[in-house]
A and B are shown apart, each in its own frame.
Chain A
Amino acid sequence: MTTDDQVAASVLAGLASMSRRRLQRLLLDRSPTNALQELRAGRAPGDSMAMSDSLLERLTVQARAVDEGVMARLIAESAIGVTTVGSAEYPQCLADDPERPGVLFYRGELSALNAERVGIVGTRNATAAGRATAEELGAALAEAGICVVSGLALGIDAAAHRGAVNASSAIARCVAVVGNGLDECYPKRNVRLWEQLIDSHLLLSEWPPGTAPDAFRFPLRNRIIAALSRVLVVVESREHGGSLITARACLDRGIEVMVVPGSPKSRASAGTNLLLRDGATPATSVVDILEAVGSGVRHLPAPVSTPLDAVSAEVVERCAAGPATLDSIVADCELGIGLVAMAVADLLAAGTLCERDGWIEVAGSRLVHPVTPQ
């Protein structure tokens, strides 16, 4: 693909009135440079593209307004790779998808996609246990040679990436699909992850550099995560969460959706529990997921846990059912305030529990470590 073609493809991908479907059909049988020229001349490129006069007019105006020099500079400055559907570089795993992106922008190693891929998604506002679960999953899958696909959002997504990127003995790279241009990090808080992903993993987007992270782009981004995943794992989601869009996109494609079960009392698990009710597969351990992918099952060492006294055990059990205030623990366990406060303080110090704004929750992952016969 020539540089001119790359720039032209970027311009086309960024046109406000260019739908995703129209873009990939447009680029299927002609070069981006040619398509852009036609549009700018006010001609509908090719006769297969039924296009109303008003749409053509809008696209022409928009295409004429873009400065190719600026676009070329943005691509070059951030060393962004551009590939279009039909070109040799275009990832095979996306090429067969009915909603494949017409133009794909990437930074990092495109070869990351060659491994078996598992999507891990979930809410931005997650519980501590949810984040710990995603992180453990990310790390364990990376160490099992599986490429973790997620969306780099705050909360579950970032935790999954962090686990995969920081895993000590990872043998697979990880992929983040984002909803903005690849020239600027979003969300800003994940800037360290963003850099790590560029350095030795893969960042994908269907939007040219300079594109802002508008709300409507994220549901579109989710379909790419779905298309890339062999299995999707939803860690935590409320009843109307964006992760459910990804899950729906997977079901449309016949991709298996797995769910980490949560307490019915915790609102952060309301959406995932709905998925379970609708027939998703529960994922209670890393082994469950490895089996679903058909990858070699490794026996993970179970972490050593110290036995808890009666009061502490009751407190942990209450917190495992969902984040709780000291008030609700005391009321639910029907124990003295002093006793519970002491137990909570010790468990906080030991790292079994953690606290945010006066809410106490279980710090550790919700995954279990099944003991398999040797």
Chain B
Amino acid sequence: MIASVPSATLLGARGYPVTVEVHVGRGLPGFSMLGLPDEACREARDRVRAALMSSGLEWPDRRITVNLAPPRHRKTGSGLDLAIAVGVLIATDQLTAEAVGALAFVGELGLDGSIRHVPGVAPIVGVRAENDWVVPPDGVSEARVVASGRIRAAASLRGLVDALSGSAQWAEAVAPVRAVVDDEHVPDLAEVRGQPVARLALEVAAAGGHHLLFVGAPGSGKTMLATRLPGLLPDLEPDVALEATMIRSAAGVSLPAEGLVRRPPFRSPHHTSSAAAMVGGGSHYMRPGEVSLAHGGVLFVDEMGQFAPSVLDTLREAVESGTVAVGRVNHHVTLPARFQLVGATNPCPCGEGSAPGSCECDERSRQRYLGRLSGPLLDRFDLRVAVARPAVGELMGDGASEPTAVVAARVASARTVALERAGVLNASLEGVLLDQWAIPDPDAALRLRREMEHGRLTGRGYHRVRRSARTIADLAGRTDAVLSDEDITVALSMRAVIARRAHAGAA
């Protein structure tokens, strides 16, 4: 007998349809699997056999051949277990093909016949969205986000067989038992005391989509500030939300209870992360990396100077293109990676000093340290702000700071203005649009000219300053095309020159 069961596997953040063909016939008892299964996939044989037997079903003492079609690309992971088991059951007449119909299956089998969650249910279901699917109970919410067909949950193989053969009801999809992340809770800006300029920088970054760098000693609140940025950003656009959901599902990162990622994610990779961890990779399965997990949200790169230079390079490529392309010998995956970068770094290797003259690190070691971020990557930051530890009085004072909700409202209206004006956030204003909507007034133009003549501002910096000044003006409600001297000056002052080479002799 032969059976054919639809399913799908995962590559990167996309599903690839797979048809599981099972043939059970005469010959020496045995099990062979074709169609480029990887190691985890090949192990399905023993899991499926044990699951069938412990579910009171029969394992045929015949020749079993499983083909994963199309055999072109490598199948990975344990998500095909369930489809293989159903295929064996049909091929041995323990289930009828009519009872199964066009149902597609995804899930890993336990030796006791339980059906377990696998990463990537959303993209797997999404690639055959019109099918009806049977998924593990934990995968129901994310599957419903992408499916147009009906989603069934099955907690065990026995229950599945009973439901398919009509002797029992389908299990109600119960609330997921795995930990769910509470995206709604982000720390509030009201908890940040003092630091008016750093707060403004955060607000400008949120409103204009500018990348932001904090430079300051440990304890100056860089992380505290950065974690407040997602709270200032509006909900994700529907298409971005879907992409973010797919990516998170594929990476096996927990999803919100309702399945869809609505709030901008916040990712904070450790500085020992490898390049593969940042952009994604792995030999067969291509797990999405941190830059993709931050898609639509904030990538906070703390201790930037401690990251390997090669990792920072990959980061820069992602920032430039908004996608990452990961290639291996036989497959090539492009993952979305449009995020807002927030960097943080100590000003010098000892971390103690930030103010000039406050530590042992001399000019050279400071330059060597900050020099690791110099050049093109540093240039991507429209906003570069030095932060200092707030004074005790500010920390202890009871003067309430503005809460996230108030700032987020200003950010939302500034974003609306920018989007209505040019269709993009101010950080992406280019060419004609920039010249049309960011015109420095005569005083401001004079100031910019002077900065450029003194070598404190590069040509590219000139455009970047105008973009962030545009956002500053928008936030203040000055939405006409002209930028005042004050807007430009504030934008300039939030673009500290970092790791400048001291001119000769200024030791």
What is A's interface to B at a CB cutoff of 8 Å?
123-128, 130-131, 154-155, 158-159, 162, 187, 189-190, 192, 236, 238, 266-268, 322-328, 330-332, 337-338, 341-342, 344-345, 349, 355-359, 361
Contact = CB atoms under 8 A, between A and B. Distances in A.
Contacts of B388: 324-325, 327-328
A323 B198 CA distance: 17
A189 B490 CA distance: 35
A155 B493 contact: no
A341 B490 contact: yes
Contact of B386 (A155, A189, A325, A342): A325
Nearest to B200: A337
Given A331-B194, A341-B493, A189 B364 contact: yes
B498 interface: yes
Interface in B156-211: 194-198, 200
B507 A190 contact: yes
Nearest to B365: A125
A216 to B, nearest CB: 17
Contact of B505 (A192, A327, A358): A192
B355 A322 contact: yes
Interface string B284-295: 000000000000
A324 to B, nearest CB: 7
B385 interface: yes
Interface in B452-485: 485
B447 interface: yes
B305 to A, nearest CB: 12
A361 B387 contact: no
B2 interface: no
A330 B353 CA distance: 21
B104 to A, nearest CB: 56
Closest 7 CB pairs of A and B: A358-B386, A268-B357, A358-B496, A267-B358, A127-B357, A327-B197, A323-B355
A268 B370 CA distance: 21
Nearest to B221: A327
Interface in B377-408: 384-388, 390-391, 394
B355 A266 contact: yes
Given A125-B356, A268-B358, A358 B384 contact: yes
B112 interface: no
Contacts of A328: 388, 391
A125 B367 CA distance: 13
Interface residues of B, number: 49
Given A325-B387, A326-B197, A359-B386, A123 B496 contact: no
B386 A326 contact: yes
B497 A355 contact: yes
B428 to A, nearest CB: 25
Contacts of B490: 337-338, 341
B67 interface: no
Interface string B331-348: 000000000000000010
16 contacts: A124-B360, A125-B363, A162-B505, A267-B355, A268-B355, A325-B216, A327-B194, A327-B197, A331-B194, A331-B195, A337-B196, A337-B490, A342-B489, A344-B493, A357-B215, A359-B356
Contacts of B505: 162, 192
B497 A158 contact: no
B499 interface: yes
Interface in B314-373: 347, 353-364, 366, 370
Given A338-B486, A357-B386, 8 more contacts: A125-B362, A154-B362, A236-B357, A238-B359, A267-B359, A328-B391, A332-B391, A357-B366
B450 interface: yes
Contacts of A338: 486, 489-490
A276 to B, nearest CB: 17
A330 B347 contact: no
B153 interface: no
A236 to B, nearest CB: 6
B391 A357 contact: no
A337 B385 CA distance: 13
A267 B357 contact: yes
Nearest to B367: A357
Given A342-B485, A358-B215, A331 B355 contact: no
A125 B492 contact: no
A338 B500 CA distance: 25
A238 B358 contact: yes
Contacts of B394: 331
Contact of A125 (B198, B359, B489): B359
Nearest to B495: A358
Contacts of A267: 353, 355, 357-359
A341 B356 contact: no
B355 A355 contact: no
B356 A325 contact: no
B385 A345 contact: no
Nearest to A266: B357
B454 to A, nearest CB: 8
A332 B386 CA distance: 16
A323 B356 CA distance: 7
Contacts of A358: 215, 384-386, 496-498
A334 to B, nearest CB: 10
B59 to A, nearest CB: 69
Nearest to A236: B357
B195 A327 contact: yes
A326 B489 CA distance: 12
Given A327-B387, A357-B347, A358-B496, A342 B486 contact: yes
Contacts of A236: 357
A135 to B, nearest CB: 11
A332 B196 CA distance: 11
A101 B240 CA distance: 75
Nearest to A331: B194
A155 B354 CA distance: 16
Contact of A327 (B362, B363, B385, B489): B385
A325 B197 contact: yes
A344 B494 CA distance: 12
B486 A127 contact: no
Contact of B356 (A154, A189, A268, A330): A268
Nearest to A166: B505
A289 B216 CA distance: 38
Contact of B391 (A123, A127, A131, A331): A331
A3 to B, nearest CB: 37
Contacts of A341: 486, 489-490, 492-493
Contacts of A330: 196-197
B353 A125 contact: yes
Nearest to B485: A342
A155 B489 CA distance: 31
A327 B507 CA distance: 26
A328 B390 CA distance: 7
Contacts of B385: 326-327, 358
Nearest to A162: B505
Contact of A345 (B216, B360, B493): B493
A368 to B, nearest CB: 20
Contacts of A356: 356, 500
B272 to A, nearest CB: 25
A359 B354 contact: yes
B357 A323 contact: yes
A356 B354 CA distance: 10
A133 to B, nearest CB: 12
